[in-house]
């Protein structure tokens, strides 16, 4: 869904302007030079646009910090682990690990 959201021209690739928009939406605007460097790192310098496969590798690969930024921006980072409210339940010796 995120890939399609930023594929502005519906060509199956995220270009420089789409990456610029994505970074601005996340509150981290970048210069054109920084964006070109980011695209080069994601694609390995092979392309000037980010394919779906490159996008998936970027989000789930070693550089998953981008995924964390997107999740934090979307407010979904903490949805899976809601904090319990109220005082903790009483425990006895038998319930300890």
Taking residues 55-64, report their average pLDDT. 69
Residue-level pLDDT at 46: 85
Residue-level pLDDT at 82: 60
Domain ranges of the chain: 1-76
Residues 6+ apart with CB under 8 A from 77: 68, 71
Kindly indicate whether the domain formed by 1-76 is annotated with CATH number 1.10.3720.10.
Answer: no
C-beta atoms surrounding 15 within 10 Å? 18
| Residue 50, beta-bridge partner list | 14
Residue-level pLDDT at 71: 62
Lowest mean pLDDT among 7-11, 33-37, 42-46, 59-63: 59-63
């Amino acid at each position: 869904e995120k890939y399609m959201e930023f594929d502005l021209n519906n060509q199956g690739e995220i270009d420089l302007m789409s990456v610029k928009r994505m970074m601005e939406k996340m509150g981290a605007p970048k210069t054109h030079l920084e964006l070109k460097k980011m695209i080069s790192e994601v694609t390995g310098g092979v392309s000037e646009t980010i394919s779906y496969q490159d996008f998936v590798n970027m989000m789930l690969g070693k550089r998953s910090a981008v995924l964390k930024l997107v999740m934090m921006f979307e407010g979904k980072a903490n949805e899976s682990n809601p904090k319990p409210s109220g005082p903790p339940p009483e425990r006895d010796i038998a319930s300890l690990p």
